[in-house]
Amino acid sequence: MAHETLALLAQGNALQAPRDLDEMLAGIAPLLPMLDVIPNAVIFIKDVQARYCLANRTLVQRCGFKGLQPLLGKTSAQVFPAQLGPGYTEQDRRVLEEGRVLEDQLELHLYGSREPGWCLTHKQPIHDRERRIIGLVGISVDLQAASHSHPAYQRLAAVDAYIRSHFAGPVSMDELTRIAGISVAQLERYCKRVFHLTPRQMIHKVRLEHAHRLLLTDLPITEVAMQCGYTDHSAFSRQFKTLTGFTPSQYRQATCC
């Protein structure tokens, strides 16, 4: 559903590419009331300088504003805390400058309570009729709860329990498929349907949740990496930044100050 919505917005609600960003925003304006009633997803459009041009009510509220106007013309770096915002803007720049499309990017966010929350982010560039990039459109959907009613839930619950018990060491796909009693392809498909994540994303999620707790302490970051299943400190830092937009030390500063 997020992919379809993103494609619709990227086309400016029209059959052809927009002449410019203003034309696209005018075409999308009638959709905004519908986007405003989606409580579990933030939806936004930014210009080539990564500044907000449009956002739904959910994003406005999560940024601490009462209305849309104060958000317009600002980048994520200007809206979010100083330790966090630059990472989000850096991601925007990759989309805008490289034309990169992000799909199902698992991300750890800090909400107003500074409690961690997970979302799946989708971003793609907006092109005009000459195929020039004129902005980006994005959706970050809050990670849904597991689908307990799915027929495969019980066997996948065992996979989830194994990951949570063994994340501090290597977790192989062979072991996960053995526990579930299904093939790799089936495991990937069922995990997406039940947990809305791939098995790899499930592992990253558990490890980063534990890292969040440890980074609230004075434990050295090299030791945090080891306890979260990373034998290489640099690999931990790269993965952490990929999922959060900032380094472990920046994250520690953000959550402790």
Give the pLDDT band (50/70/90) at residue 14: very low
pLDDT tens track for 87-117: 778 889 999 999 999 888 888 776 555 566 7
Measure the CA–CA gap between 193 and 200, rounded to whole angstroms.
14
74 and 52 Cβ atoms separated by less than 8 Å: yes
Same fold, 2-142 and 153-195+197-256: no
What pTM was estimated for this model as a whole? 0.79
Which CATH number applies to 153-195+197-256: 1.10.10.60, 3.30.450.20, 3.10.20.90, 1.10.230.10? 1.10.10.60
Q: CB–CB of 215/251 below 8 Å?
A: yes
Measure the CA–CA gap between 63 and 155, rounded to whole angstroms: 39
CA distances from residue 134 to 7, 47, 119, 128 in whole angstroms, order as listed: 15, 6, 26, 6
Q: Does residue 11 register a pLDDT over 80?
A: no
Q: What pLDDT was estimated at residue 44?
A: 96
Q: Under CATH, which architecture does the 2-142 domain have?
A: 2-Layer Sandwich (3.30)
Is 256's pLDDT higher than 70?
A: no
Flag the least confident range among 19-28, 62-71, 82-91, 168-177.
82-91
Q: Count the neighbouring beta carbons within 10 Å of the beta carbon of residue 242.
A: 15
Decide if pLDDT at 81 tops 90.
no
The upper half-sphere exposure of residue 59, i.e. CA atoms within 13 Å in the direction of its Cβ, equals 26
- Chain segment 112-143, per-residue pLDDT in tens: 555 667 889 999 999 999 999 999 999 999 98
Beta strands 41-47; 52-55: pairing state: antiparallel
Q: At residue 45, does pLDDT exceed 90?
A: yes
| For range 228-249, the mean pLDDT | 87
Mean pLDDT of the chain: 87
Cα pseudo-dihedral 28, 30, 34, 40, rounded to 10:
30
Decide if 126 contacts 46 (C-beta within 8 A).
Answer: no
Using CA atoms, how far residue 120 sits from 4, 85, 89, 140, in Å, is 14, 17, 17, 6
> Is the pLDDT at 169 greater than 60, yes or no?
yes
Q: With the C-alpha atoms ordered 208, 213, 215, 221, is the resulting torsion angle positive or negative?
A: negative
pLDDT (0 to 100) of residue 29? 84
DSSP letter, residue 218? S
- For 179-215, what is each residue's pLDDT tens digit? 999 999 999 999 999 999 999 999 999 999 899 899 9
Mean pLDDT of the 14-28 span: 83
Are 85 and 75 contacting, i.e. CB atoms less than 8 angstroms apart?
yes
Cα(160)–Cα(162) distance, integer angstroms:
5
> In the predicted model, what is the mean pLDDT of residues 212-229?
94
Report the first-to-last Cα separation within the chain, whole angstroms: 37
- The larger pLDDT score, comparing residue 96 to residue 253, is at 96
| pLDDT above 70 coverage of the chain, percent | 88
Mean pLDDT confidence for 12-18: 63
Sketch the domain layout of the chain as residue ranges.
2-142, 153-195+197-256
Q: What pLDDT is attached to residue 2?
A: 57
